[in-house]
Structure 1
Amino acid sequence: MLKHLSLAAMLAAAAGAQAATPVKIGFITTLSTPAGYIGEDLRDGFMLAVQQGGGKLGGVPVELVVEDDALKPANAKQAVDRMVQSGIKLYTGVNFSNVLAAVVPSVTKAGYTYISANPGPSAFAGEKCDANYFVASYQNDAFHTAGGVAANELGFKRVVALAPNYQAGRDAIAGFKRTFKGELLAEVYTKLDQSDFSVEIARIRSLAPDAIYQFHPGGAGINFAKQYGNAGLGKTIPMLMPGFSMDARMLTATGNASEGFYTTGIWSVAMDNPASRKFVQDFQAAYKRVPTDYAMQAFDTAQWIASGLKAVGGDLDKTPAFRTALRKAAFTSLRGKFALNTNQHPIQDLYLMRIEKGADGELGPKVMRKIVSDDRDTYAADCKMPS
């Protein structure tokens, strides 16, 4: 009897140890280069949710395995292949579409799950959709189709559009063109790592549009906004852009140059709902800075993952059950509304905002109005989702 009890105790102890083993989450993101702050905000937004859960998501212990891709797809591919070989079954964190394209196939071919906290390139929303690929943020076109709607509502008839010449940049201009009803005077494609925009600004001046629509994330966006303002165009030719082309960090870096610019987005620090207000307060308390959209999206991603892990008790070998739980999207999004389209990309509202000074004298995005309700990307029609 004593031996039997001892064996039972040993089995119980082993089971307890196994249950306490954290689920590893591969978090490949950009932490170096001028765009590194984006990866920092994605990481910190995700970790805030983990810390608030006491090191757990959905009651399941988790461990974030972070790799810096340095904005190089080859680096990201090497990192994800190492992680897949080590048995990590759940991934997120990438912040650029060209890097995502190098990571997702390795994850999904292995039968593991990728949940995008930021990019949503068109290819993976349509014909290359996959049952193991989910998007927590947006399909890349969304902010830009909203930009076209905003341009129409603001009365802009003649517009110049600018974006970097990579997947997300091409998606940006394609999305804007889909809804803009005026005349597009020029499509200008820049380099992803470009820092000097004097040639492009001279061209804008010569074309004399009613407004420009531009998408440049990170350091490139900071440089563009500064140079645009220094050229005196900010006061004469309005700028319209997605919110991630003038986030909280970029506002600080550009000073007053961005005052009066318009942005579109799914969320802002001024969003008036209890969950969002608490998140902004908690993030500022933890990291001593204002959260960007990237931080919000990562926090939502973590909460979404928590709902899936809770449903399967942390057992990612229960892949169909984990997918089913994710498809329910049973979590409280900071943006207020979140549901999934058939291609596992969000259905959500988008807003028009204007960069204005608040009561404290600091610039920030003021929500003007909702301009798109229950947005669904057009690529879902091309998605034949495997079971």
Structure 2
Amino acid sequence: MTTTASSRRAVVAGLLTTGSLAASRAWSNPIQPETVTIGFITTLSTPAGYIGEDERDAFNLAIAEGGGKLGGVPVRLDIEDDALKPANAKQAADRMVQGGIRLFTGVNFSNVLAAVVPSVLASGGTYVSLNPGPSTFAGERCHPNYFVTSYQNDAFHEASGLAADELAYKKVVLLAPNYQAGRDALEGFKRTYKGTVAGEIYTKLDQTDFSVELARVRALAPDAIYQFHPGGAGINFAKQYANAGLGRTVPMLIPSFSMDARMVAATGDAANGIYASAIWTSEVDNPASVAFVTAFRKAYSRTPTTYAQQSYDTARLIGSALEAVNGDLRKQDQFRNALRAAKFVSVRGKFAFGPNQHPVQDYYLTRFEKNGAGEIVQNIVRKIASDRGDAYVSKCTMN
């Protein structure tokens, strides 16, 4: 059958119309991003398990607020309990890497982080730490694919050293668990403290009885103690310190993660009057913080800890970077650049990364005290450091 000129024109016109409609649909419906799986290895068991719960719950809150997405990109968490054992965490990380996961977060102890990060970075993946910031990865071992949203371990304790001077503590005894973060803690405190360190006491990471250490504190007769014991160990320490009567004669200064909201509930009046260094408390009144605390309490019927706040900020930071690459982690340079830019609204207020991809932020002196309802809350006394980075940034040679 012969095709006429007019029919050929009609066919061409139809094809053009069909093509125009297809192009129009493609333009109005851009390619939707695939779901990004995030490896979330954390501590959910042991007495420190509540820390991992707060981190997991706050991260999930950010996802829920985005309708199952971060930065408009669908995400899912592959969650593993490391049980505070580095070997468990490494096995989980290796399994996730082999399964194709390229983005990780969740670990809340420095010794566990040290077992996970090398595997992630060797695979070409990215690790964004929501809590630990060990000195080992802040200086010479810094890496383009490694970010810390919380703090470099020493920095919090450097702020505490400044606070001790402001509180006129002339003679202080230091206590911390004998692992990376504990050693970083005491080194950080000594870096800024101008008074006399009467003694350094190292404990076991999973220690529950501190009677020997408290006897040493009593014998040394300091003006105050500075102690770093997170989670269950911190609860036991605070209770035993109060029961020994030391709290009435020897004030306690801590980093705020040694007496968080969950610990206050467990220790009762033992927390009253304790001073702490902090980057944030649930009493901060900026709009982002108020909204976060309200949403967390509604979702989980408890007050968020600083661990929860850091995790929520981490989720929002990751969301800002996922949005920049439409969820395509193969665009690694763009993804890294978007993380470095930190274009998200932080619950703690100001937030920026230093050259070693650790935070530059403000630190505060706070005090645990009863409010009008008789509840012990962590109030900000005053700012003690502005735009503070960390002591290892000069050792980072990352381009």
Do both proteins adopt the same fold according to a TM-score greater than 0.5, normalized to the shorter chain? yes
- Provide the C-alpha distance between the structure 2 equivalents of 1:356 and 1:78, rounded to a whole number of angstroms: 43
Aligned-partner SS, 1:351: strand
How far apart are the structure 2 equivalents of 1:86 and 1:363? 45
1:189 is matched with 202
Return the offset for 1:148.
0.4
1:112 corresponds to 2:119: no
Q: What residue in structure 2 maps to residue 123 of structure 1? A: 136
Shift of the 362–111 alpha-carbon distance from structure 1 to 2, 3 Å rule, reads same
Equivalent-residue separation in structure 1 for 2:79 and 2:380 (angstroms):
34
In the alignment, is the contact (CA less than 8 A) between 2:33 and 2:326 conserved in 1? no
Match of 1:74 in 2: 87
Equivalent residue number for residue 61 of structure 1: 74
1:359 alignment partner, one of 369, 372, 384: 372
* Cα separation, 2, equivalents of 1:349 and 1:162: 25
Native 8 Å contact 2:353 2:359 kept in 1: yes
Equivalent-residue separation in structure 2 for 1:343 and 1:221 (angstroms): 30
Tell me the secondary structure at the aligned position of residue 302 of structure 2: coil
Among candidates 344, 363, 376, match of residue 350 of structure 1: 363
| Matched residue SS, 1:31 | coil
CA-CA distance at 1:21 after TM superposition: 2.9
**Is 1:244 the counterpart of 2:257 in the alignment?**
yes
Equivalences for 1:153-164 in 2 at 5 Å? 153-164=166-177
Shift of 1:109: 1.0
4+ long deviations beyond 6 Å: 1-6
Structure 1 unaligned residues grouped into runs of 5+: none
Equivalent residue for 1:174?
Answer: 187
CA–CA distance in structure 1, aligned partners of residues 94 and 372 of structure 2 = 50
The equivalent of 2:5 in structure 1 is none
1:376 to 2:352 alignment: no
Tell me the number of residue pairs that the alignment of Structure 1 and Structure 2 aligns: 381
Of 246, 259, 264, 1:233 maps to: 246
1:136–1:346 CA contact under 8 A, matched in 2:
yes
AA partner of residue 193 (structure 1): D
Aligned counterpart, 2:6: none
Query: What SS does the corresponding residue of 1:71 show, helix, strand or coil?
Result: coil
CA drift at 1:19? 3.2
Return the alpha-carbon distance in structure 2 between the equivalents of residues 293 and 172 of structure 1: 17
Give 2:233's aligned residue: 220
SS at match of 2:392: helix
Classify the secondary structure of the residue corresponding to 1:28: strand
User: In 2, distance between residues paired with 1:378 and 1:38?
Assistant: 27
* Residue 142 (structure 1) shift: 1.4
Task: Give the aligned partner of residue 93 of structure 1.
Answer: 106
Alignment match, 1:208: 221
Is residue 353 of structure 2 the alignment partner of residue 337 of structure 1?
no
- Tell me, in whole angstroms, the C-alpha distance in 1 between the residues paired with 2:290 and 2:371: 16
Q: Which has the larger radius of gyration?
A: 2
One of 282, 307, 314 as aligned partner of 1:301: 314
Distance 2:271 2:309 in 1: 22
For 1:159, the aligned partner's letter is V
Q: Which amino acid aligns with 2:268?
A: G
One-letter amino acid of the counterpart of residue 51, structure 2: I
The two structures, once aligned, show a CA RMSD in angstroms of 1.8
CA 1:235–1:109 in 2, change beyond 3 Å: closer, same or farther?
A: same
Q: Distance in 2 between matches of 1:262 and 1:160?
A: 15
Q: Does residue 266 in structure 1 map to residue 282 in structure 2? A: no
Identity %: 66
Compute the TM-score of the two structures, normalised by the length of structure 2.
0.93
* Residues 25 and 89 in structure 1, CA contact (< 8 A), matched pair in contact too: yes
Q: Given residue 214 of structure 1, which amino acid in structure 2 is its aligned partner?
A: Q
* Contact 2:33 2:327 (C-alpha < 8 Å) held by counterparts: no
Q: Shift of the alpha carbon at 1:258?
A: 1.3
TM-score by length of 1: 0.96
Distance 1:379 1:67 in 2: 31
| Whole-angstrom distance in 1 between the partners of 2:322 and 2:303 | 29
Deviation at 1:3, TM superposition (A): 12
Q: Which amino acid aligns with 2:381?
A: M
Asked if the contact 1:80–1:107 (Cα under 8 Å) also holds between the matched residues in 2, the reply is yes
Determine helix, strand or coil for the equivalent of 1:300.
Answer: helix
1:235 Cα shift? 1.1
Amino acid in structure 2 at the alignment position of 1:94 = V
- Residues 234 and 258, structure 1, Cα contact 8 Å, conserved in 2: no
- Deviation of 1:18 after TM superposition, in Å, equals 7.7
SS, match of residue 378 in structure 1: coil
Q: Which amino acid aligns with 1:145?
A: E
